[in-house]
Amino acid sequence: RAASGLSAVAPGMEDDALAGNRLFLLAGESLKVPFKFQSFDAEPVSFDSSSSDIKRGAPDEGLHLRSRAVAVHFVNADDGTSASVLHVDIRPRAMTVARTFRFQTAENEFFKERLPPPPGVATRDASGRGCLAVRASDPAVAAAVVTTESEEDGEVDEVALRYKCGEGSAAFYVCVYADSFLGTLAAVWRVFVHATPKVDVSSLVGQSSHASVVVQGGGATRRVAAFCSHPDELQVSPDRLTLPPGALTELQLAFRPLIPGRLDVAVHLVDLEKGELVHSRLVATDARGPVVSKTFDVDAAPGARAHKKITYTNPYARPRTFHLRCTHPLLLHFRPDRLDLPAGGSRPMGLTFEPAEDWERATRGAAGGVRGAPAEVLVFINDEDDATEECFRIRVHADPR
């Protein structure tokens, strides 16, 4: 019944002529039988993540575009003999892709992503029931429409994708339908999942942790540059290097988090001459909150910088050098940013805070949306090895009025 409203039924055929897959005919009676063809047969595409296919996109070999024939048998239900055979020649056409998505995830892990429905496509019918449906071309991909609760928009329908990644990257198609019977195609998406090797790094906020990765050169010598998605927290050394063919090159990673939590940082090696992506690495970081020893309060006025001095004492029986860092380096400045203290010696460190309007603009929403709530900044006193000796919390009361 749902399909009959999408296209006209064959002329001369009654609505109840077919009972499932059974057709009742009188002696000498002829009838035109309607056919509807729908195929999800699209072979998954796999390609090497180190090749330039990541930049250009994989070719269309994944579409099952070869011509083929399907045999439809009309069988006598009484004795099981074949009354007629109809051969249907199928010549598929390529899909019209509305959007292309590219995601990067770790090898041998589950890829999970939620995408908004196509614009202009209704997700619920007049009675409020969900009418959106999705289907992925790769049977290894689980695609479904899920409903989530949002404080602003209430119930929101999203397209959820789940895929078990291997060691290579893959591509597949997602067909989005405007009805639950997969009759009206609303959009076709092409999704690329780039599975890259992963390295795990954990550290305390404000303290550096180091790791190393090994990269193997390709068939020719390449001059590459290293880029990462979060350069303020992860540094790659060296950032310019030469990859000899077939040789192993070690890269050093320094992770100094600014806020606690988990974060996936993408590191890319790009050929400086051709601009091609040579190698990718996913760094899974885990930042833990530091132990705060003291808390201070500072009032920031509009249009003027605020100043504060905090005295720090070297607790060791030998001279030590301490470096000062913070979670908001653009809003808080140190004078000086390094303390050379003798055994048991003390020295004040000067702190300069930007005007109140800068704090209010930079930390908007950080205090749970409560206007006038103080902004918090952490000050780290690190040793020569960049390990945190002590951590101060400073609450900045910024009123831009």
Whether residue 268 has pLDDT greater than 80: yes
Q: Give the long-range contacts of residues 119-126, CB within 8 A, separation 24 or more.
A: 121/176, 121/178, 121/186, 121/187, 122/178, 123/157, 124/157
Residue type, 29: E
Q: Higher pLDDT residue, 348 or 128?
A: 348
Kind of pairing between the strands at 388-398 and 294-300: parallel
Are 322 and 338 spatial neighbours (Cβ–Cβ below 8 Å)? yes
How far apart (Å, rounded) are the C-alpha atoms in residues 362 and 375? 10
Over residues 277-300, the mean pLDDT reads: 91
Beta strands, E only, 220-319: 222-228, 234-237, 240-243, 248-255, 261-271, 277-288, 294-300, 306-313
Give me 357's structure tokens: 């309007």
One-character DSSP codes across 149-216: EETTTEEEEEEEEEEE--SSEEEEEEEEESSTTS-SEEEEEEEEEEEE-EEEEEEETTS-EEEEEEEE
363 or 183, which is more confident: 183
User: CA 65 → CA 41, 160, 230, 260, 320, distances in Å?
Assistant: 9, 27, 42, 49, 71
- pLDDT averaged over the chain? 83
235 neighbors 241 (Cβ within 8 angstroms): no
Q: What's the pLDDT score for residue 1?
A: 57
Q: What is the pLDDT of residue 4?
A: 59
Confidence (pLDDT) at 64: 55
| Distance (Å) of CA 350 to CA 1, 172, 184, 338, 344 | 78, 57, 67, 11, 20
In this structure, the number of other CB atoms found within 10 A of the CB of residue 111 comes to 19
Residue 101: pLDDT above 90?
A: yes
Are 299 and 397 spatial neighbours (Cβ–Cβ below 8 Å)?
Answer: yes
Using DSSP's 3-state secondary structure scheme, residue 357 falls into helix
pLDDT computed for residue 8 by the predictor = 55
The confidence score (pLDDT) of residue 89 equals 87
Q: When comparing pLDDT for 1 and 254, which is higher?
A: 254
Say how far apart CA 151 and CA 188 lie, in whole Å: 30
Looking up tokens 């290097």, which residue turns up? Answer: 241
The SS3 call for residue 48 is: coil
| CB proximity list for 265: less than 8 A, separation 6 or greater | 228, 229, 230, 233, 234, 282, 283, 285
Question: How big is the chain, counted in residues?
Answer: 401
- Residue 55: how many other CB atoms lie within 10 Å: 11
SS3 content of the chain, % helix, strand, coil (to 5): 5, 50, 45
Mean pLDDT of 111-136: 86
Q: Note the pLDDT tens digit of each residue in 147-204.
A: 887 766 677 889 999 999 888 888 889 999 988 888 888 999 999 998 889 999 999 8
Q: How far apart are CA 23 and CA 192, in angstroms?
A: 44
**Token duo for residue 323:** 């470096």
pLDDT confidence of residue 365: 52
Q: Exposed/middle/buried for 130, CB within 10 Å: 0-12, 13-18, 19+?
A: middle
Mean pLDDT in residue range 271-297 = 91
Global model pTM greater than 0.75? no
